[in-house]
Amino acid sequence: MGSLISRVVLGASIGVGLVSPAFAQDQQKNVSVKQRPKPEFAPNGVPMGAFRAYPTLDISAQYDSNTFITETNELEDFVATIAPAINIQSNWSNHSLSTNIGGLFNQYAEETDLNTNTFYANSNGQLDIDSGLYFTGGAGYRDSAESLANAPLPNLAEPIKTNSTDVNIGFVKGINRVQLAGRASWARNEYGDAVTKNGTEVSQSARDNDITNLEFRTEYEISPDTSFFVNLKGNGRAYPSVNETIGDLNRDSQGYEVLLGSKFDISNLMRGEIGIGYLNQDYDAVAGGNASGLAFNAGVEWFADQLITVNFDASRGIQDAAVSNAFGYLASNIGVSVDYEFRRNIIISAGTDYALDDYQDLDRQDSRWGVTFGSEYLLNKNVALFTDISRRSQSSDGLNRGKDFDINQVSFGLRLRR
């Protein structure tokens, strides 16, 4: 349920993304339930010379118990979803290039103002210089709609349209037991007008932002199974459309994060990465001050046995607020999920997660809790069935509290692959 800004910042800055894929594979002994190769059920793709394309089409029907995400007077509805996508991958012996293009089209049975048509496109590549050095780069565009659960205004008639453009470049260099990695990224996020249920349009241009991230990581391998790392991140967040003469808050800021941690792959028991450190975000506006505190990022897989994988993840970072009278908040997230291979072609998953948003300059705390259940049934190489059942709840406290809400969703779908 994080905002578009949250997703972009997290995707651009997470330390795991700096690790060399080849380096990680060399250490990896264990394979999770969802990653385990299943050649008899894997799509063959479509050859395209030096590339291979993997098209997919998801068709699903969903029941939603609270379509407008309201605290009272909940309205339920059914929505049909079509999600076409294509992934094109190079099959070169050196270097790599991949492109992803897709869309998501939602059609509601009753509340047609909630209908959305969105799409995305991105490309990522790797340039191999020698066995110990390679460069990475990528660019993407996403046209999407902000969930009403994250909306900065109450009583909206439709989701706020958003779009995001991002580029990144990086490198990985291995020197004996030491691995150095760096990454720079830039993203622009733009927001359309909000439309309330009485037809009033409210400009969201003050939320438009440019986010720059710089990251450097040093990792030292003490054994084939374990390494320690230091991860440094810096960011700059600029809001070019802010007009302070009409009361817009200036959320321009600069921040940094330092993480110390370990990456491990222990026998057939578990693998993962855990980092703990400190973060700080300084806001240019005098009233904004700064937000700082404990930072952590963890992702661990426990292999209970060959058919069960337990996944644990946790993170804490500083996000900019979307509400008009706040600058930023500390976002803490924790989640646990279990994947069970009931049959070679049937995977059952269940999980729960908790999130706490603690606003630094506003008397408000939002806590969210969710449970999910899902399954995937691979009929053959080209056809799969899936189900998803979830419940999401939010409780908001403080003098400037947001809304409380509950959402129950049940969906069934068909996935076609080539």
Q: How confident is the model at residue 6 (pLDDT cuts 50, 70, 90)?
A: very low
Using CA atoms, how far apart are residues 293 and 285, in angstroms rounded to an integer? 20
Please say whether the beta carbons of 129 and 157 come within 8 A.
Answer: no
Q: Does the structure show a pLDDT above 60 at 27?
A: no
Q: How confident is the model at residue 23 (pLDDT cuts 50, 70, 90)?
A: very low
- What is the topology classification, in CATH, of domain 4-417? Porin (2.40.160)
Q: What pLDDT is attached to residue 28?
A: 52
94-103, 267-276, 371-380: range with lowest mean pLDDT? 267-276
Specify the amino acid at residue 317: G
Using CA atoms, how far apart are residues 378 and 343, in angstroms rounded to an integer? 10
**Beta carbons within 8 Å of 49's beta carbon, 6+ residues apart:** none
Half-sphere exposure of 362 toward its Cβ, with a 13 Å CA cutoff? Answer: 22
Backbone torsion region of residue 58, taken as left when φ is above 0, otherwise alpha when ψ lies between -120 and 50, otherwise beta: beta
Using CA atoms, how far apart are residues 245 and 235, in angstroms rounded to an integer? 27
Q: What pLDDT is attached to residue 287?
A: 63
Please say whether the beta carbons of 364 and 401 come within 8 A.
Answer: yes
Q: Does the structure show a pLDDT above 50 at 1?
A: no
Using CA atoms, how far apart are residues 148 and 152, in angstroms rounded to an integer? 9
DSSP characters over 276-335: EEEEEEEESSGGG-EEEEEEEEEEEEEEEETTEEEEEEEEEEEEE--STT--EEEEEEEE
Q: Does the structure show a pLDDT above 50 at 385?
A: yes
Highest mean pLDDT among 11-15, 112-116, 290-294: 112-116
Q: What pLDDT is attached to residue 106?
A: 96
What is the pTM assigned to this prediction? 0.86
Any idea where the domains of the chain sit in the sequence?
A: 4-417
Q: What pLDDT is attached to residue 288?
A: 59
Per-residue pLDDT of 295-347, as tens digits, reads 999 999 999 988 999 999 999 999 999 887 888 899 999 999 999 999 999 99
Please say whether the beta carbons of 214 and 170 come within 8 A.
Answer: no
Per-residue pLDDT of 100-143, as tens digits, reads 999 999 999 999 999 999 999 999 999 999 988 999 999 999 99
